[in-house]
Amino acid sequence: MYQPLTSNSVALLVIDIQERLMSAIANRDEVVRNASLLLRLAGIQQIPKLVTTQYRRGIGEIVPAVDELIGAGEPRYDKTQFSCLANPEAGRALADLGRKRLILTGVEAHICVYQTALACRNDGYDVTVVADGVGSRTAENKALGLERLRELGCEIAPAEMVIYELLGEAGTPDFKKLLPFLKG
């Protein structure tokens, strides 16, 4: 039986939303907006997060709109591996979060998001991939990546579905804090 996503059962993985890489992503504005919404909700509901960059020296920093929501003291794990779990520091940090349900957002859907989700599934994690919170350089690569992720047993859901599932109901303090950003 499916158990709804709850703030005390999930962790958020934000994968490689970097300036130079995002300039080539087909749906970059949508990815940045939805990753930002997820990070805002994580802050409101105290959902733990893991943030990665791919070869920061060559690809650049995280886009400012996303980076400002991560928090100054939060680590950003730089990697050269495509799977976040293949990076020893990031893999340990994820395990230390103690959550077996993950929400993934970032790029590229068919490379780093896919390989991270594959490793997570193989390590016993339940994975929800935010369909409009991931991107690739081409729409075809994104579509094929999402198709393959579904075949691996990942849940594929739009950002609003994930967000409203975590919120649970209207009128709560958490809902009221996030509502102005959902309308935008």
Check if 16 is active-site.
Answer: yes
Helices 112-122 and 139-151 pack at an angle, to 10 degrees, of 0
Q: How far is Cα 139 from Cα 173, in angstroms, rounded to an integer?
A: 37
Catalytic residue among 67, 84, 112, 132: 112
Q: Could you tell me which residues come within 8 angstroms of residue 114 by beta carbon, excluding any fewer than 6 positions away?
A: 145, 148, 149
CA 60 – CA 83 distance, rounded (Å): 18
Query: Is 100 among the residues known to form the active site?
Result: no
Q: How many angstroms separate the first and last alpha carbons of the chain?
A: 35
Spot the catalytic one: 49, 67, 79, 126.
79
Contacts of 70 (CB under 8 A, 6+ apart): 14, 39, 49, 51, 62, 76
Does 154 participate in catalysis according to the annotation? no
Q: Which residues are catalytic?
A: 16, 79, 112
